[in-house]
Amino acid sequence: MIKASFKKYTLQFKTPSGTSRGILKTKDSYFLILKDSGKFGIGECGIFRGLSIDDRPDYEDKLALVCDNVQKGEQELYRVLEEFPSIQIGVETAFRSLKAKDPFHIYPSKFTNGKSAIPINGLVWMGEASFMKSQISEKLKQGFTCIKMKIGAIDFKSELDLLKSIRKEFSVTDIELRVDANGAFSSSEALEKLKYLSDLDIHSIEQPIKQGQWQEMARLCEDTPLPIALDEELIGVFSEEKKKKLIETIQPQYIILKPSLIGGFQGSDSWISLSEKMGIGWWITSALESNIGLNAIAQYAFSKNSLLPQGLGTGSLFTNNMDSPLEVCKGKLQYNTNLKWNLKNIIIQ
């Protein structure tokens, strides 16, 4: 008989990390732990305060309800958790983990056996121009060929100058540049800013304007001089009908899938299916989970056989992340089978 429990865990950033929504110093997560016949399964419920649709006062009550009703099984629990996408992925991962031969190999593959790696983008956080420049230099030294830079927190001219300085040294064949505005541009100024960015051979821009403005975003996607990727726009869109309406209305060039924010693996599958029918590209991104959640999302991403660099380079951001076989090497995320998981007696008791 399966027994379930959950535990809160607060991740500490090594360096306070800036986004257009403010400075992040800590990040809460919850671990769902299943035990049955001497085996255990673990899944991360990676709530993102201020961004997750399920950042609600009854979040822990819902986790307790999951634990009390664990005998109902994965699919029934997933179905009743529609408004709690970060718990949905925790449930999916924990049940897969419990059933797996190795609880950390939820999608066994050439990735988990160390034979293949996942190309990822190097993430550059917002801050003073000098801080952002030093991050860029570090990413290039580390062998990244795709860099994602968050913009929208300092003045646009400084951000543009930074991007220009990269392009002076590295052509589009050397470095793929992605930018993420996190909805920082106003509808009236967005197109003009996109024109400036397009001169620098930018691969794509994520969420140039705030989500929820479907008509404005649709016009932007139609007129844009560079590809637009929807990110926050997908959060809180639950039904298949509304997903289809959003995709058909906006017709973006790309969508970005953060499984913890959009209903886990099943939610991501439904977005992928809809976008591929319309010829819309996609990639998968972690949302500041610990290595438990990152591991699950990376294995899922590998199973999808995407050729684009994924957004899975967040594991090294925290001082108190658990030791794992996940490593970033030469711009790729790999699973080093010589390294072991160490949960530091925090989670499994």
Measured distance CA(120)–CA(24) in Å, rounded: 22
- Tell me whether residue 150 is one of the annotated catalytic residues: yes
Sheet-wide strand order for 3-19: 3-19, 22-36, 39-45
Q: Residue 309 has what DSSP assignment?
A: P
Q: 254 with 267: CB under 8 angstroms?
A: no
What is the token pair recorded at 208? 């140039």
According to DSSP, the residues that pair with 230 across neighbouring strands are: 255
Q: Please report the beta strands in 64-175, taking only residues with DSSP state E, as ranges in sequence order.
A: 118-119, 122-124, 146-150
Q: What is the secondary structure of 63-93 as a DSSP string?
A: HHHHHHTGGG-HHHHHHHTTT-HHHHHHHHH
Annotated catalytic residue, options 27, 139, 193, 258: 258
What is the token pair recorded at 285? 């991104």
- Tell me whether residue 139 is one of the annotated catalytic residues: no
Q: How many CB atoms lie within 10 A of CB 261?
A: 26
Q: 210 with 171: CB under 8 angstroms?
A: no
Measured distance CA(327)–CA(315) in Å, rounded: 8
Annotated catalytic residue, options 27, 139, 148, 150: 150
Residues with Cβ within 8 Å of residue 315, at least 6 apart in sequence: 286, 291, 294, 321, 324, 326, 328
Q: How many CB atoms lie within 10 A of CB 336?
A: 13
Active site residues: 150, 258
